[in-house]
């Protein structure tokens, strides 16, 4: 029994690690977070944690109401004028909901702040790369100074989310050193938003 419990703890930690990597890579590109997320999904499925997660999911008051949102893109294929093109492409993205279930399994067992910290760290690293591109120390992709990401549209939303999150923690803490840290993060995200050269920014 102890061996089984140790194995389960190891699998849960591994799942949490790959999920954190997915959050870290989110601002830095598309393929790395998907790969890290898929590894977390495989661990989730093969470990048996998936069955417990699904059971817990439908016990939540928001469990069943989420299902129509998952099915909506597929229902949309019935009336879209482009079912074979953008329609199926958009519906295929519903696999991202599986990542949400894995995240729910992870945060059910530990505090989710480390996932948020991983995301903010990735956003910060990408901003530093973006500044280097603006200073012409590194080549820019499409002239947008978007770091390692493909473009500015999604990154703009990430930066706004990062700024709001840092502002929340800035307001929450009374420690001056932590306030300076969160203020520096806000400034970094804001400046990166400014230099993106995109309409969204």
Query: Quick one: pLDDT band at residue 3, thresholds 50, 70, 90?
Result: low
pLDDT in tens, 30-89: 889 989 999 999 998 888 888 878 877 778 788 888 888 888 888 888 888 888 888 888
The yes-or-no verdict on residue 152 having pLDDT over 90 is: no
Instruction: Give the range with max mean pLDDT: 95-104, 130-139, 182-191.
Output: 182-191
Closest CA to 51 of 7, 10, 101: 101
Q: Dihedral of the CA atoms 69, 72, 74, 78 (nearest 10)?
A: 170
Residues whose CB falls within 8 Å of the CB of residue 64, separated by 6 or more in sequence, listed in order: 58
pLDDT for 124: 96
42: how many CB neighbours lie within 10 A of its CB?
A: 13
Percentage of the chain exceeding pLDDT 90: 36
The pLDDT of residue 142 is above 80: no
Cα(187)–Cα(193) distance, integer angstroms = 10
Query: Quick one: pLDDT at residue 146?
Result: 86
Which residue in the block uniquely carries the two structure tokens 């700024």?
Answer: 163
The predicted structure's pLDDT at residue 83: 80
**8-12, 21-25, 110-114, 143-147 — most confident range:** 21-25
- Give pLDDT tens digits for 117-136: 999 999 999 999 999 998 98
Say whether 75 sits in a helix, a strand or coil: helix
What pTM, to 2 d.p., does this model score? 0.83
Q: What is the pLDDT of residue 201?
A: 55
The Cα 56–Cα 62 span in angstroms is 11
CA distances 116 to 2, 3, 11, 55, 74, Å, are 32, 31, 21, 25, 30
* Averaged confidence pLDDT in the chain: 86
Identity of the highest mean pLDDT range in 63-72, 147-156, 166-175? 166-175
């Amino acid at each position: 029994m102890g061996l089984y419990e140790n194995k389960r703890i190891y699998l849960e930690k591994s799942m949490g690690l790959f999920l954190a990597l997915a959050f870290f890579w989110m601002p830095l590109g598309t393929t790395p977070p998907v790969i890290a997320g898929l590894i977390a999904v495989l661990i989730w499925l093969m470990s048996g944690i998936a069955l417990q997660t699904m059971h817990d999911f439908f016990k939540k008051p928001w469990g069943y109401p989420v299902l129509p949102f998952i099915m909506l893109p597929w229902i949309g294929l019935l009336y879209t004028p482009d079912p074979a093109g953008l329609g199926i492409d958009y519906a295929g993205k519903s696999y991202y909901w599986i990542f949400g279930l894995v995240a729910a399994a992870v945060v059910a067992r530990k505090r989710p702040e480390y996932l948020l910290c991983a995301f903010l760290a990735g956003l910060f690293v990408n901003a530093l790369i973006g500044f280097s591109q603006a200073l012409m120390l590194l080549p820019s992709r499409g002239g947008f100074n978007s770091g390692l990401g493909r473009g500015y549209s999604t990154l703009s939303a990430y930066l706004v989310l990062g700024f709001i999150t840092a502002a929340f923690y800035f307001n929450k803490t009374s420690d001056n050193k932590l306030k300076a840290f969160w203020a520096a993060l806000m400034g970094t995200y804001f400046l990166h938003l400014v230099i993106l050269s995109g309409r969204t920014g």
